[in-house]
Amino acid sequence: EWQGGLEKAGLWDGPVLNRAGNSVADAAAFAAASSNVRAQLAAVQQSSLQALNRGLVDTRELEGLLVVGRFGLFVVAIAATLYFRRRMVKDLMRPVNSLRRGVLKLQSGDYSHRLDVARRDELGEVAVAFNGMAAALQDSHKALTYRATHDDLTGLANRAALAERLLTSFEPDSDSRTRNEGLLFIDIDDFKDVNDSLGHGGGDALLVQLAQRLRASVRSHDLVARLGGDEFAVVVLDNDDGTPATGPVAERIYEALSEPFVIGDRSLRVSLSMGVAQRTEDTADVTELLRQADSAMYRAKHGGKARYEIHGG
């Protein structure tokens, strides 16, 4: 009121004051500023809440991505483990399977299979041992097969090999030229006298030398066999034109005896009695062919020795 009276008297030119003595304009400005501050604080609070909500959303998305990423890494790790484990098992089983195949081949009589020895571990040592065993078995098999089909003293085919050769020639599907062949039975004349004069060692030496001369007298596709003791046999294939070759082969054998045998410091001559049987379409089997050759040989012996007789001749 006093402010109004002074204004009317022209004595107050200052700002309008309220009861507390404060400027009314300042109070209004302060009230407006306070209201504006509250509005700004509310806006900041609202913006902060929105940012916080967005942050929470981004955090959840990040957590989801992390979960997916961890799962993906887990799957990749499992796949890699399975892959390398499979590779390891495959690398391990490859030599094991090769060893199994090798053992099966050995069981079937095939001793030629060899394992890869490139590995430098325990499996490589097993492969080396297997190859050594297979080679030893192969050598033993060859030696046994040779002994089963060859004469120990002369190295010629033995009686079993002769029988197999003749049986093969009588098979229906044998070569047409093989079906026509001749058989020579050979016996050393008076071989007992040789043994008595030279001893069994000298007799064996004579048999070895005679075997060499017999082998040199025949063709590559003929077969010379020792039947035992001082008896030999020769399977003679017909000539390419189908004519019998037994006669010419027998003549070459007798020519081979023209030179004396040297046993130690002794030189001696021997003679042979020989029987010849020619297989024909009427020859029933191997037994008949052997019988014919044997019979012809004994005829040669009884006829004076040092000669050959042809069955049916």
Give the pLDDT confidence of 169-193 residue by residue, as tens digits: 888 776 655 557 899 999 999 999 9
Q: Is the pLDDT of residue 16 over 70?
A: no
Distance of CA 12 to the CA centre of its chain: 127
Both structure tokens of 109: 């009589």
CB 274 within 8 A of CB 250: yes
Any idea what DSSP says for residue 155? -
pLDDT in tens, 229-257: 999 999 999 888 888 899 999 999 999 99
Mean pLDDT value across residues 219-223: 94
Mean pLDDT value across residues 143-160: 94
Catalytic option among 187, 222, 230, 294: 230
241 has catalytic annotation = no
Mean pLDDT of the chain: 79
Mean pLDDT value across residues 60-66: 57
Q: CA-to-CA distance for 15 and 7, rounded, in angstroms?
A: 10
> What are the residue ranges spanned by the domains of the chain?
1-105, 109-148, 153-310
H helix and E strand count, the chain? 7, 7
pLDDT value of position 149: 95
Nearest-5° angle of CA 200, CA 204, CA 207?
Answer: 140
CATH number of 153-310: 3.30.70.270
Q: CA-to-CA distance for 123 and 119, rounded, in angstroms?
A: 7
Residues facing 309 on adjacent strands = 275
Helix (H) or strand (E) holding 47: helix 24-107
pLDDT value of position 74: 58
pTM of the model: 0.64
Q: Place 107 in a pLDDT band, splitting at 50, 70 and 90.
A: confident
Query: Angle formed by the axes of helices 159-169 and 122-149, to 10°?
Result: 80
Helix (H) or strand (E) holding 224: strand 223-228
Q: CA-to-CA distance for 110 and 103, rounded, in angstroms?
A: 9
Q: Is the pLDDT of residue 126 over 70?
A: yes
Of residues 21 and 38, which shows the higher confidence score? 38
Q: Is the pLDDT of residue 142 over 70?
A: yes
